[in-house]
Structure 1
Amino acid sequence: MSQKWELDSIDKKGTFRLVSYRPIYLAAARWSSKRNAEPFNESGEFSSRDKNIFNNIEAKFQISFKTKLLQNILFGRGDLWIGYSQKAHWQVYNKKLSRAFRELNYEPEIILNFPMDIDVFKGKIRTFGVILNHQSNGKDIPLSRSWNRIILNIGYEYKNWNVNFRPWYRMPDSEDENPGITTYVGDAELEVGANFGKHEFYTIINHSFHTFEKGNIQLNYVFPIHGHLRGHAQVFHGSGETLIDYNVSQTTIGIGVSFANW
């Protein structure tokens, strides 16, 4: 965690270096139990009037980078970063739709991060951050989806385990394209990851404080194939895998390769 966020002085590498942020991977095949052929929202105003012929199997990939803009600010303790993540769901095997991208989610962030060193349960709280987050799919009405959040991030480390807890506040929007998104996707995210030699496991859980019936869980396993080439297996269950699917519950299974991990 110290190397990822340059928390200790020995790990400081200066500003304007582009490094990976969230996992970068390509799932060449991703199967879904439910095709969201007619996206809708709770008000009906931002709902599709056309039925799309989507395949249950598509490709999925995610890229994610960050760079530090300022370091040792606010009493010499804080670092200011910007991050950008993009997740794509690609109907690459669908000739009828000209192999179109079904959904693209764009997620820029401004991150103010502070190193911590607090002993808790034989481990340490190593980082505390405040994040200004925007996420959107860049589509026109009625398929446009977006929201803005203020996120707190608390990073905990114990031996080869890393835990990040991220509660958030959704900022009000005068034109709500995805009402009830915090009910479906949640008010917080919990990431738990562990390394065992060349094998890595991490779980991402999103849950709502309003109800125990919704939310989602994502299980990931990264494993060696040959040299620096690593495989990536992913299982997702729940609602909100993408913004267009924020209120659709599904189970997905993906297999591919990993380029950067947590």
Structure 2
Amino acid sequence: MPHFNKLLIVMMLFVSKTFAQQTFHNPIIKKTISQQWELDSIDRKGTFRLVSYRPIYFAAARWSTKKNEAPFNESGEFATDDTNIFDNIEAKFQISFKTKVVEGLFFGKGDLWVAYTQKAHWQVYNKKLSRAFRELNYEPEIIFNFPMHVDLWGGKIRNFGFILNHQSNGKDIPTSRSWNRIIFNIGYEYKNWNVNFRPWYRMPDEEDENPGITQFIGDAELEVGANFGKHEFYTIMSHSFSTLKKGNIQLNYVFPIRGHLRGHAQVFHGYGETLIDYNVRQTTLGIGISFANW
């Protein structure tokens, strides 16, 4: 199993680097929303091209102030008595890609995309646990996207869309976690700033493996990104409309190292960094390398 884990991470890094080379020829210039989603005619490149979607990165070390010692669910049915077997320090990586499958829907304006994101937390330094993966989150999506040109506050609303989103960790009871959402997205551009607001509706689930997840993780997400020369910053925040005390914030700083190689520093605070930790409040610090960003 340890040899398989090593082979898997090498394959993930190779694929991530390939996406980065194909879609980010100049790591200094941040992509516009039109370039990200091929909104304008000059940016359209056709269908079935595999390109990066969300940030692709590998954090060699990620430290947590409060590890999830015994994953549990307040429903009782999915409770577990797992003992404290995890380390506070682990590796973390994310791969993400998308492809356009239909172009010019609804009066020739809208596009249909499919996307996949996978986030992994790897106890690579934990010999007692055979360096196993603590948590894997799988997130396939179907995305309907429409271009817009609406002037607002000196910038422009550039796109509107909605997403059919499924997220799960692929585990069995008692540590199985999953939910389905309809996510709406509005993209706004101002100078070198990109802003995306994504409220969502959680679809009903009779076998709710994570009750109250929206109270912890939130009902909407705000992503704000900007580049300053060779340095890039982006923040992802989620918030619950039902309570002011929950939600989370993730701060990211991407900086040049050499050539196309870029460093990545990440700070997370709040609930739900992973699905298994949806009701665990923690602060985490991660450092690694970045292959592709928003």
**Structure 1 length-normalised TM:** 0.99
Q: How many residues align?
A: 262
Q: Given residue 188 of structure 2, which amino acid in structure 1 is its aligned partner?
A: Y
- SS in structure 2 at match of 1:75: helix
Task: State the 1:69 CA deviation.
Answer: 0.3
In structure 1, the partner of 2:263 is 231
Which moved further from structure 2: 37-46 or 168-177? 37-46
Task: State the 1:47 CA deviation.
Answer: 2.1
Distance 2:245 2:190 in 1: 31
Greater fraction strand:
1
In structure 2, the partner of 1:166 is 198
Distance 1:92 1:254 in 2: 14
- SS in structure 2 at match of 1:143: coil
In structure 2, the partner of 1:127 is 159
Distance 1:99 1:152 in 2: 38
Distance 1:182 1:68 in 2: 30
In structure 2, the partner of 1:45 is 77
- SS in structure 1 at match of 2:107: coil
In structure 2, the partner of 1:182 is 214
Greater fraction helix:
2
In structure 1, the partner of 2:292 is 260
Q: Which blocks of at least 5 consecutive residues in structure 1 are unaligned?
A: none
In structure 2, the partner of 1:73 is 105
User: Would you say the 8 A contact 2:71–2:82 is kept in 1?
Assistant: no
Distance 1:191 1:258 in 2: 18
Distance 2:80 2:43 in 1: 49
User: Would you say the 8 A contact 1:199–1:222 is kept in 2?
Assistant: yes
Task: State the 1:10 CA deviation.
Answer: 0.3
| TM alignment of 1:88-167, pairs within 5 A | 88-167=120-199
Q: Deviations over 1:129-181 (max 9, x none)?
A: 11000000000000000000000000000000000000000000010000000
Distance 2:45 2:84 in 1: 48
Q: Deviations over 1:168-222 (max 9, x none)?
A: 0000001000000000000000000001111000000010000110100000000
Task: State the 1:261 CA deviation.
Answer: 0.6
Q: Which one of the candidate residues 239, 264, 270 is aligned to 1:207?
A: 239
In structure 2, the partner of 1:8 is 40
In structure 1, the partner of 2:91 is 59
Distance 2:46 2:131 in 1: 42
Q: Which blocks of at least 5 consecutive residues in structure 2 are unaligned?
A: 1-32
